[in-house]
Structure 1
Amino acid sequence: MLKTNYDFRYNDQNNPLMAIRSIGWESTASETYRWDGMARDDKFVLFQYTLAGEGHLIYHGRHYTVPKHQGFFLRIPDSHCYYYNSASKTPWEYIFLVASGTHVFPLWHDLMAKAGPVVSFKPQARPISMLWDMMQTAGDNGLRDKYEISLSLYDWILSCLRLMDGMPDAGKPLPESIQRALQLMETQYHRLLTLDEIAAAAGVNKHHCCRLFAKHIGATPIHQLTKIRIAEACRLLRQTDETVVAIATSTGFDNSSYFGKVFRKLVGASPQQFREQDGNLTSDNQLFVN
């Protein structure tokens, strides 16, 4: 899938249906990227979800950092500003959805009432996978009928509401302790990290760390670390010519045979099979390891 945007135009500018106005995948590393919710002369709603790096949001005077796997719901116009800060040192990469229509605004109000402006969604969560699917369909010229577009948007909003109703913590940012532990994993996965090190990064003992991960991530800390390592291994298999042994070492596995067993269990193929079978995919495709 290409990193691009898809814009939609409608003959009826007062379309009462639920209308997607744009959807896309972008990144920025410029401090000129700054949007003031009171300085825009149009009326619409926005969802933006961080894939890498981090963004910043000031909402009704309160500051939020929006790191990887978090996003925000906003109404425009409203009292907010979201922007990129170069102190982050890495580009802010995100996917987004812009929508409008008479029936969109009350449902968006319900979403924000349940979750607040900032939410935490796992990358494999239904709302996120649906966004990727909608972008793929748009890229294939499959979103051309205003009724189909309206139905897709309605289904997407319902998927968000369903997730928030079924998982009380789904719409809330991850606790800072979990964020610190995940940051350690995502930057130091190549080392032989221990549960004690992960718990120390979280600022809790290892037993409480396991309970927090079970509640908020749905996996043990070590299993989450393994998923991060395997996801990185998949990227290296797709984008480089490194040997399987070298990739195993660079992703924190000290035994290539064990790496192969873990890879097959999570991905459903050996590393070499994955490399051979996945050759038709572009480097921009995302793989989410469950």
Structure 2
Amino acid sequence: MLKQNKKDETFGFFFKGEHQEHIVGLHSIGGGQTTSPSYDWNGLKRSEIGRCVFQYTLSGKGMIEVDGKMHPLSAGQAFLVQIPSEHRYFLPKESNYWEFVHITLFGYEAQKAFTFMNDKIGHVISFPPESPPIRLLLNILQEAYEKKITDAYHASALGYSFIMELYRFAQNIGASSEKWPEQISKAVFYAQKHYDQPIGLDDMVEASGLSKYHFTRLFHKVTGMTPLKYLTKIRIDKAIELLHVSQLSIEEIATQVGYSNGNYFSKVFHKKIGMSPGQFRQSRHTVPVTHIVTD
């Protein structure tokens, strides 16, 4: 899940390798928030020719104009456009801020995928926060923050995986594209960004802007789980990743996923997974899994 710095950051990639043009290349990825009316991008006045932009709204309000038609953008909505093309996205006058994550791809397969998505669904598409394309987007951004994207082959693999998830989403659009209420999306993204801190139900309620009673009922209706169960799932998923790829101590992992001490973290982990963190780490050499699916 996304562990975002306080400041806005965008990572640009300039790797060698002709396969990027033939298949897919990762041009840039970033996350940010704008409050400035000067945030205004015109698709016919940019120098990045042959680029495909996917931008997903986390919170606030944005606007995109495509072929002369205005499309308001709120939490859970993304736009997909190619450069150059007749589009313009900006912070509208009635909006105080716009928070988003974005990825820019290039190459034949990227352009083919974006053309397909635009023709089949349109330029503005709703994605639930837990949908595979958005989860993958946040994971790619996290890899960028952690400086793990170091060559063209890995960058292309990530970009190709992302467009494959777009194709999969388009194939199942009827079942998976229902837009989540903005208040629930805000709470989900808050949990995804701050799981490493000692946050709880009250913090998620505050992020949503709803009353605690209304929020807990609506959250369960939309996600199928309670807010605290969802937060625990995020933390345990991240802990599993750290147990698999790092040599951090159990105490250090506990701190990195938002628990005050290793003992409490171990109890929660054992209840969820059926074994202690130490037992899971030892079993990874004989049980070839990097993620465990839990309900």
Count of matched residue positions in the alignment of Structure 1 and Structure 2: 221
Q: For residues 25 and 118 of structure 1, what CA distance do their matches in structure 2 show? A: 19
* Cα separation, 2, equivalents of 1:133 and 1:39: 31
Map of 1:11 onto structure 2: 16
Percent of pairs with identical residues: 22
Q: Secondary structure at the match of 2:15?
A: coil
Residue of structure 2 equivalent to 1:280: 256
The answer on whether the counterparts of 2:41 and 2:90 sit within 8 Å (CA) in structure 1 is yes
Supply the RMSD in Å over aligned alpha carbons: 3.7
Distance 2:64 2:204 in 1: 38
> Which letter maps to 2:211?
G
1:88–1:278: structure 2 CA closer, same or farther, 3 Å change rule? farther
Q: Which residue of 2 aligns with 1:33?
A: 39
2:53 corresponds to which of 46, 49, 68: 46
5 Å-filtered alignment, 1:233-244, equals none
- Where does residue 116 of structure 2 map in the other structure? 110
CA contact (8 A) 2:187 2:205 kept: no
2:95 is aligned, of 70, 88, 91, to 88
Structure 1 length-normalised TM: 0.64
Q: How does 1:1-290 map to 2 (within 5 A)?
A: 1=3, 2=5, 3-11=8-16, 15-43=21-49, 44-89=51-96, 91-168=97-174, 170=176, 174=179, 182=181, 186=183, 252-253=211-212, 262=226, 264-268=228-232, 279-280=255-256
Q: Is the 2:196–2:256 Cα contact (8 Å) retained in structure 1? A: no
Equivalent residue number for residue 267 of structure 2:
none
Counterparts of 2:118 and 2:202 in 1: how far apart (Å)? 46
What SS class does the counterpart of residue 22 from structure 2 fall into?
Answer: coil
- Shift in Å, 1:158: 0.9
Q: Distance in 2 between matches of 1:93 and 1:145?
A: 29
Q: Residues 236, 253 of structure 1: CA spacing in aligned structure 2 closer, same or farther, 3 A cutoff?
A: farther
Contact 1:30/1:86 (CA < 8 Å) preserved in 2?
Answer: no
How far the C-alpha of 1:124 sits from its partner, in A, is 1.0
How has the CA–CA distance of structure 1 residues 234 and 95 changed in structure 2, closer, same or farther, with 3 Å as cutoff?
Answer: closer
Q: How far does residue 279 in structure 1 lie from its aligned partner after superposition?
A: 4.7
* Alpha-carbon distance between aligned partners in 1 of 2:195 and 2:160, rounded to the nearest angstrom: 37
- 1:186-218: CA deviations, max 9, x gaps? 3xxxxxxxxxxxxxxxxxxxxxxxxxxxxxxxx
Q: Structure 2 length as normaliser, TM-score?
A: 0.63
Give the Cα–Cα distance (whole angstroms) in 2 for the partners of residues 234 and 149 of structure 1: 23
Q: What is the CA–CA distance in structure 1 between the aligned matches of 2:201 and 2:75, rounded to whole Å?
A: 29
8 Å CA contact 2:9, 2:30 repeated in 1: yes
Q: What do the CA deviations read for 1:260-286 (whole angstroms, capped 9, x no partner)?
A: x955544449xxxxxx9975358xxxx
Q: Is the 8 A contact 1:7 1:23 kept in 2?
A: yes
What is the DSSP-based 3-state SS (H/G/I as helix, E as strand, rest coil) of the residue aligned with 2:105? Answer: strand
1:132-182 CA distance string (max 9 Å, x none) = 1111112222212212211211111111110121132645x84xxx8xxx3
The alpha-carbon distance between structure 1 residues 87 and 11, as it changes in their structure 2 partners (threshold 3 A), is same
- What is the letter of the counterpart of residue 88 of structure 2? C
Report how far residue 115 of structure 1 moved: 1.6
- Give the gaps of 5 or more residues in structure 2: 218-224, 234-250, 259-294
Is the 1:229–1:252 contact (alpha carbons within 8 Å) kept by the matching residues of 2?
no
Cα distance in 2 for partners of 1:139, 1:249 equals 27
The residue type paired with residue 5 of structure 1 is T
1:79 Cα deviation from its structure 2 partner: 0.7
CA contact (8 A) 1:70 1:121 kept: yes
SS in 2 for 1:39: coil
Q: Work out whether residues 236 and 247 of structure 1, in 8 Å CA contact, stay in contact via their aligned partners in 2.
A: no
SS of 1:63 mapped into structure 2: strand
